[in-house]
Chains A and B, each alone.
Chain A
Amino acid sequence: MSELSVNHLLGIKYLNKQDIDLIFKTADHFKEVINRPIKKVPSLRDVTIANLFFENSTRTKLSFELAQKRLSADVINFSSAQSSVKKGETLIDTVNNILSMKVDMLVMRHPNPGAGVFLSKHVNACIINAGDGAHEHPTQALLDSYSIREKLGEVVGKNVVIVGDILHSRVALSNIFALQLQGANVMVCGPKTLIPKHIEKLGVKVETNLKKALNWCDVANMLRVQNERMAISYFPSTREYTQQFGLNKTLLNSLDKEITVMHPGPINRGVEITSDVADSNQAIILNQVENGVAIRMAVIYLLASKIKQ
């Protein structure tokens, strides 16, 4: 039996293809579990997990918490808004205080890139990165690839375009790594101001014309316009962004083939994607959310089994 090559999930960058295959295979089993009348297994009943969210989140936090509870782990939640972080406590101190209460695993979201990697070097616990600044969001990328695999049968050889704010997006970077590991072709598409310089060095195609990009792809992953991360203006107006890079039904129907539409949520309806596209049967947005629980169960299960008793 194979096991993960890593002790933490800090980013897709640290995984190999076998790890992804193992996570997907395990997630298949958990997907069956969460569709049972009683959606819970007792595997992790002696594991305690802390969810540390130093940045707001709804979906990811709920999905992680649900995954942990479906595995019967004990869960404690922490969000920086009501905590001593506001009183000036350092990250390592905060985490070590939590670990003193005999916690085995941490799920952390943090606004600073590399926070998870930093922590993994200084504290003694298994760490899962639930998003660190504009760096990585590994479980999102895993569930995106898993959803593509579910919809199209396999990921290898598929053309995937990631549309929107690539510059501020941790989802984009993790997705690029994950898709390339599995042999997919990746393109990024968006306003030039929101595409990082030298991104083609990662082996991705760059396109600024949405229609051309959509005609090339099998799957379009429409990223959210992250207004909260934009201190300066990267495009003249939201309306202009929508005209150039928004996906609407007319555009979708004008393509040569039927493509699959994904979105990591939360959706700005009418900005990057219109309602009729988001609710069409080409969109697998809600499947992504369902698969998120199964993927996170698999990741937690596989990492927890590496924690020494």
Chain B
Amino acid sequence: MGKKKLLNTKSIDVILHRLACQLVENHYDFKNTVLIGLQPRGVFLAARLTKILEADYLVKNIQLGALDITFYRDDFRRNEKPLEASSTSMDVAIESKKVVLVDDVLFTGRSIRAALTAIQAYGRPSQIELLVLIDRRFSRDLPIQPTYRGRQVDAINNEKVIVNWQENSSEDAVYLIDK
């Protein structure tokens, strides 16, 4: 099993700042915008972006939600084990807001498809965008593309891209793992 580091702490930090700049460009003061991290790993990215936006770009009162898409997935009963859910915390109103879905890795696009369905249970946003840290090229099952991408990665199917955050492991890093 091979393991290759794609991004280290420093390069992730640079990318996060660039993504934050792009968000500010499109959303300015975030008054009408809601950031929604997808459980389980997108929430770390969403929280980190919020922190950068508030500290470095003086954006105040960013509305942040965490959405779990387990019950909307299309592979129920197609796996060996039951799909495990995470908690959802949507204390923000999304009706007529601009929603930015945030996830760590975009692979087949099926999670995002599920998220687009799940988000409807909370209202009708005026617009939905997608931000991902890693975009795995040439691996999409569905016609879904990110609005903001951190880094494009070419990985073949039996490789896996793992994003580690300080919050859930010891460092910020992105690895390519050969199974």
Question: Interface residues, chain A, CB within 8 Å of chain B?
Answer: 1-3, 26, 28-29, 32-33, 36-44, 46-47, 71, 301-302, 304-309
Is A29's CB under 8 angstroms from B82's CB?
Answer: no
B88 in contact (CB, < 8 A)? yes
Is B121's CB under 8 angstroms from A38's CB?
Answer: yes
Chain A's nearest CB lies how many Å from the CB of B134? 24
B28 in contact (CB, < 8 A)? no
Chain A's nearest CB lies how many Å from the CB of B26? 27
A interface, over-half SS = loop
Question: Interface residues, chain B, CB within 8 Å of chain A?
Answer: 68, 70-73, 76-78, 81-88, 90, 117-118, 120-123
Question: Which 6 pairs across A and B sit closest by C-beta, in order of nearness?
Answer: A41-B71, A305-B82, A38-B121, A1-B84, A29-B85, A43-B71
Contact of A1 among B72, B82, B88, B122 (CB under 8 A): B82
Is B122's CB under 8 angstroms from A44's CB?
Answer: no
A42 with B78: in contact, given A32-B87, A36-B121 (CB under 8 Å)? no
Residues of chain B within 8 A of A304, CB atoms compared: 76-77
Chain B's nearest CB lies how many Å from the CB of A126? 12
Residues of chain A within 8 A of B68, CB atoms compared: 29
Chain B's nearest CB lies how many Å from the CB of A120? 20
Contact of A40 among B83, B121, B123 (CB under 8 A): B121
Closest to A42 in B: B72
Is B123's CB under 8 angstroms from A33's CB?
Answer: no
Is A305's CB under 8 angstroms from B83's CB?
Answer: yes
Residues of chain A within 8 A of B122, CB atoms compared: 36-38
A29 with B76: in contact, given A38-B120, A41-B71 (CB under 8 Å)? no
Q: Can you list 28 A-B contacts (CB < 8 A)?
A: A1-B84, A2-B81, A3-B81, A3-B82, A28-B87, A29-B86, A33-B71, A33-B88, A33-B121, A36-B90, A36-B121, A36-B122, A37-B121, A38-B121, A41-B71, A41-B72, A41-B118, A41-B121, A43-B71, A43-B73, A43-B76, A71-B71, A304-B77, A305-B76, A305-B77, A305-B81, A308-B77, A309-B78
